[in-house]
Amino acid sequence: MGKLSQLATGLWLLVGAPAIVQSSNVISNGFGCCAALSQSDGLREKIAYPNTTLYQERLESYYSANAALAPYCMLLPQTTEDVSQFMHVVSSNRCPFGIRSGGHSAFRGANSVDDGITIDFSYMNETTYDVDTTIASVQPGARWGAVYEALDPFGVAAAGGRADVVGVGGFVTGGGYSFHAGTMGWACDAVHNFEVVLANGSVINANREEHADLFQAMKGSSGNLGLVTRVDLNTIGSTQIWGGYLTYDWADRAAVFDAYYHFAEDFAKDPASEVLVSMAYAEGNLSLRTILTNTQAVVAPSSLHNFTAIRNLSDTSTVSSIAEKVPEFTGATPLGVYPNWFSGSISNAVVAEFLEFYYQTLNEYIGKMEAAIAHNSSLSIVGTMQPVPRTFVDISNEMGGNVLGLESLVADGPLASWLFAVTVTEQDDQPAILALAEEFVAKLEAYADSLGANKDWHYLNYAYKTQDPIAGYGDEAIARIKAASAAYDPQGVFQKLRHSGFKITA
């Protein structure tokens, strides 16, 4: 029996039933849960079922086809009350569920389920700005490009995503690396308040004055503690940024890698500037680039001289608004491809030699991956390195703290956070490419171990499902997350029934 037929049966069984099924009549299968959801006032018209246009449109809107699982139904809430009702049904009926805000995470099970209900926040996507408080209130389904556009007329910006298609909810609760990280910390540290729907359906605000334990624990713990329905963000009183791509000849890579090392070591001298080193492969060409930015719109600041002094092949840097700059950095983002993302970290002390190893090993694996894919498929790869200095931790502590667990990791110097992302366009190529990607990442980790420099910290928003990023936060941070879970979700709904994303480390 298909999902649609099962769902019809479940609806027939529940005609006249109350919206909330009591514990003595627990429902745990997907079609019954969708039927229970349909009995809630105000939600019936917001459910998308298999074999309907809306359901198919939502599946096709995923960036990652790996993540586009087909649930028994989807709920597309429009209000916080809708989300509250959803949690009542889920908790009372023990329904498996997944959470999607922007849906940009890449792995299977990141933001949807195939054994229950996916709550899709795409219709909760508004951004408002209060000129008196200078707070931007953003719903979780908003994309960062739209957020910047909404704030631009007010002459303000937010510490948000560097790609316009990334959603707000997952980005912020996963930490969130932004252009303003040096002055605002992680995006989660720029949060003034979270509006949260708890497992029992109650709606609370979490901030430094109310539910401060939950407020801190949500900053980096992803979807483990509740459903965020609004993020109130502190804003920045300027929209202007200088930045762009500089592309280099590979013969000059040692100079680029050395410049990165020194920039990260001296990060505190110019926290408005940032650098990301990138190795990008597409259409048979591997390029070396840096993304240089300055959020005070200073053109080619002295802190970046070591990069700008290197002969480049091209330079796209300009001064513009963040709303204009972010789409430039994002570029084309095709939907329905098969991406695989991994993250890791090392001590900045050995970053130059690690980047050289990364480059040499990447060249080897490009050949292996090209040989593994079909002739009608295409392969693209992005590898990046970005600094995580002590400055980020200091800002976090000033703003109430987070649970990313970085304090001890940067005590002896900056951390260097790396990304490896490989994408193919054809489903048949995904298994072979994933296996090769895991091999490549294992080599990176082993090399970092051999240098005695592996920090074993994985940026959650870039991590693959097997990397368990929360484990890298350390015992103290994990204890705070667990304490918040026990206080605000005593039945463990977000551990037992949420079947998407990362869980609290056992």
Q: Has residue 196 been placed in a domain?
A: yes
- pLDDT tens readout for residues 339-349: 999 999 999 99
Same domain membership, residue 105 and residue 134? no
Q: How confident is the model at residue 12 (pLDDT cuts 50, 70, 90)?
A: very low
Task: Identify the residue whose tokens are 């037992």.
Answer: 496
Q: Has residue 270 been placed in a domain?
A: no
Q: How confident is the model at residue 28 (pLDDT cuts 50, 70, 90)?
A: low
- pLDDT tens readout for residues 247-272: 999 999 999 999 999 999 999 999 99
CA distance 2 to 269: 61
The more confident residue out of 9 and 122 is 122
Q: Return the pLDDT at 133.
A: 99
Q: Quick one: average pLDDT of 26-30?
A: 63
Q: Is the pLDDT of residue 282 over 60?
A: yes
CATH assignment of the domain containing 208:
3.30.465.10
Q: Return the pLDDT at 376.
A: 84
What value, to the nearest 5°, has the Cα angle with vertex 75 and ends 72 and 80?
155
Same domain membership, residue 107 and residue 55? yes
Q: Total structural domains in the chain?
A: 2
Q: Quick one: average pLDDT of 142-170?
A: 97
Same domain membership, residue 111 and residue 8? yes
- Pick from 267, 318, 257, 317: nearest CA to 288: 257
* Contact call for residues 184 and 233 (beta carbons, < 8 A): no
Task: Identify the residue whose tokens are 């480059």.
Answer: 359
How far, in Å, are 69, 332, 396 from residue 114 at the CA level?
5, 29, 37
CA distance 189 to 184: 7
Q: Has residue 26 been placed in a domain?
A: yes
Q: What share of the chain has pLDDT > 70, as a percent?
A: 94
Domain endpoint, select from 106, 123, 140: 123
Helix (H) / strand (E) containing 342:
strand 338-347
Q: How confident is the model at residue 13 (pLDDT cuts 50, 70, 90)?
A: very low
CA distance 324 to 320: 6
CA distance 155 to 131: 10
Q: Quick one: average pLDDT of 472-500?
A: 98
Same domain membership, residue 133 and residue 52? no
Mean pLDDT of the chain: 94
Q: Is the pLDDT of residue 217 over 80?
A: yes
Question: Domain span at residue 164?
Answer: 127-237+474-494
CA distance 194 to 182: 22
Q: Has residue 150 been placed in a domain?
A: yes
Same domain membership, residue 174 and residue 81? no
Q: What share of the chain has pLDDT > 90, as a percent?
A: 90
* Contact call for residues 166 and 257 (beta carbons, < 8 A): no
Q: Has residue 140 been placed in a domain?
A: yes
Same domain membership, residue 114 and residue 156? no
Task: Identify the residue whose tokens are 């991590």.
Answer: 463
- pLDDT tens readout for residues 293-311: 999 999 999 999 999 999 9
Domain endpoint, select from 123, 155, 182: 123
Same domain membership, residue 141 and residue 118? no
CA distance 307 to 367: 29
Q: Quick one: average pLDDT of 61-67?
A: 96
Three-state secondary structure of 230-291: EEEEEEECCCEEEEEEEEECHHHHHHHHHHHHHHHHCHHHCCCEEEEEEEEEECCEEEEEEE
Same domain membership, residue 91 and residue 36? yes
Q: Has residue 185 been placed in a domain?
A: yes
What value, to the nearest 5°, has the Cα angle with vertex 498 and ends 494 and 499?
145
CA distance 246 to 300: 11
Same domain membership, residue 118 and residue 168? no
Q: Quick one: average pLDDT of 471-480?
A: 98
**Residue 273 structure tokens:** 């500037």
Q: How confident is the model at residue 331 (pLDDT cuts 50, 70, 90)?
A: confident
CA distance 10 to 32: 5
